[in-house]
Amino acid sequence: MENGILTEAQQKDAELIELLLEKVVKKKGFENIRANAEGYDTPAKIRRSKDSEEYFIPDVTGEVNGRKSYFELGLKTDDERQVVTKWRLLSSLAAYKHGKLYLAVPRGHMAFTNRLLADYPIQAEVVKI
């Protein structure tokens, strides 16, 4: 697993990413799957800004009918600003590529995810895992 902004801070569990892949990505028929996990190609790094050396790495990306979608784990964190920045960026990229941003939310993290989506202009589909 490669570390970008938030990847290390949130301690994303490889088991949760595997669960996301099995229950959401593969079930919905996505192809060209890239995941920030063992056994998969790592998704492309997305720079925070033109002049920045910092970058985000999506948890999972996939394509269906030529439309690229992004998949993220919706996990509670103290650094809300970074999460909102990443989700807004991925939501915009997904819309640009005629895809969607999917937020896979494990048990205990739904209220946090829903609050952020209500407070900020982020287009995302929430999926329980």
The CATH code of the domain that includes 64 is 3.40.1350
Model confidence pLDDT, tens digit, residues 47-103: 877 887 888 899 999 999 999 999 999 999 888 998 999 999 999 999 999 999 999
Domain count along the chain: 1
Distance CA 43, CA 60 (A): 7
Give the tokens for residue 66.
């030529």
Domain that includes residue 23, residue range: 14-128
Q: Evaluate whether residue 4 is within a structural domain.
A: no
In a domain, 122, yes or no: yes
Residue 2 counted as domain residue = no
23 assigned to some structural domain: yes
In a domain, 9, yes or no: no
Q: Which of 7-11, 85-89, 95-99, 125-129 comes out lowest in average pLDDT?
A: 7-11
pLDDT given for residue 109 in this prediction: 93
* Residue 7 covered by a domain: no
Q: What is residue 3's predicted lDDT score, i.e. its pLDDT?
A: 57
pLDDT for res 86: 92
Q: How many CB atoms lie within 10 A of CB 49?
A: 9
The answer to whether the beta carbons of residues 119 and 87 sit under 8 Å apart is: no
In a domain, 48, yes or no: yes
Inform me whether the pLDDT recorded for 6 exceeds 60: no
Residue 82 lies in a domain: yes
Quick check: 107 pLDDT over 60?
Answer: yes
**Residue 127 DSSP SS3:** strand
